[in-house]
Amino acid sequence: MLDLDFAFFNLTDKTKTGLAYKKVFLDRLAPLFFAPRLQRIIKISCLNACGGNILLPLGVGNLNKIQQGSKRILALKTGALLEEYELRYLAVDRRLKNEVTDICSGQELVYGDNFIKALSHVFIKAFLSRYELNKIIIVGSTEDFSCFISSLEQYCLPVSIQTIFPQRHEIFVHQLLYEKGQAVSTSYLTPENWGRDDLVIIFADHTEPITSKISSGLTIYLNNCSCSLAPALDSDFTLNGLIPALYNLAPILESCLMAKAGIPDLDSELINVAEPKSDFITLENIGHQWGLWDLFLDKVL
């Protein structure tokens, strides 16, 4: 049996068409002919890690046609694969967050949110070592967003959360500002006003309207489609038949770091804003121990 450090789950990029993929047939055929399978071996040389790509050979449109009973069967088969290779976690393509809950039920899913938050801290510290920053601007959000924003207090810089719906963050921003004294604000998105000494971190996926209005500033894109963040990793992912975008890279590398460090679990429970979660800080420290972040800093700085 293969000795795997992690498993990565994804679908095909395109919805399949034809008679066999019509709803009346697909619902019956999926558990028999389109069950999850170990498609390929994934090798991450910089971490000396080896994983398995578990592919469900259907597109999102096909998946939406399958009834709940068949999805439960697919979930059992996915779980059986993880059990066979003695894997606790299942890294999942970040684009499928709202799509695969039913067919991965009962599994501990890793989407890479802690990896992205850890990487953002790595970038912030690196830029602070080279520039006199005026403030940190966050565009978009991530999981446990209030805890992430709270963690930025350590840099002693004003934090501006910019979005087209600033009212969504008003409650926790008010709490951080008036209960913890952290200099945090929320406002409408104004890229044309970003200054040359502002560090902008963009989590939002739809960046075309933002990019066209940027006048200056230091900008880091950490959204799902971000590519070319670390050339050495790009080569690894390309050789393994995976696009080296963050939607693949973040969940795979997070699960790799967890496996290499022997972490049994990263707490997924929501907690009070006054007590920020440390999962991504733990992951940041593990990344330093394995020399992973150097691959990203060589590209950005």
Residue 112 has which token pair?
């890479």
- For the stretch 147-186, pLDDT in tens is 999 999 999 999 999 988 888 899 999 999 998 899 999 9
The verdict on domain 111-301 having CATH code 3.30.70 is: no
Where exactly are the structural domains of the chain? 6-110, 111-301
pLDDT at position 274, please?
Answer: 37
Can you list the pairs that 218-227 forms with residues at least 24 positions away whose Cβ atoms lie under 8 Å?
Answer: 218/127, 218/131, 218/133, 219/194, 220/120, 220/123, 220/300, 222/116, 222/119, 222/120, 222/246, 223/140, 224/94, 224/95
Per the rule left: phi > 0, alpha: psi between -120 and 50, beta: everything else, 153 is: alpha
Q: For the full predicted model, state whether its pTM sits above 0.75.
A: yes
pLDDT at position 270, please?
Answer: 32
Chunked mean pLDDT (size 10), the chain, 301 residues? 89 91 87 91 92 95 90 92 92 93 85 97 95 95 93 96 90 91 93 91 82 74 92 91 96 92 54 52 94 85 58
| 214-232 residues labelled b (16+ CB within 10 A) or e (exposed) | eeebbbbbbbbebeebbee
- For the stretch 224-266, pLDDT in tens is 999 989 988 999 999 999 999 999 999 999 999 998 887 655 5
Whole-Å CA distances, 49 to 4, 43, 64: 8, 6, 33
Compute the C-alpha angle 54/82/6, nearest 5°.
Answer: 65
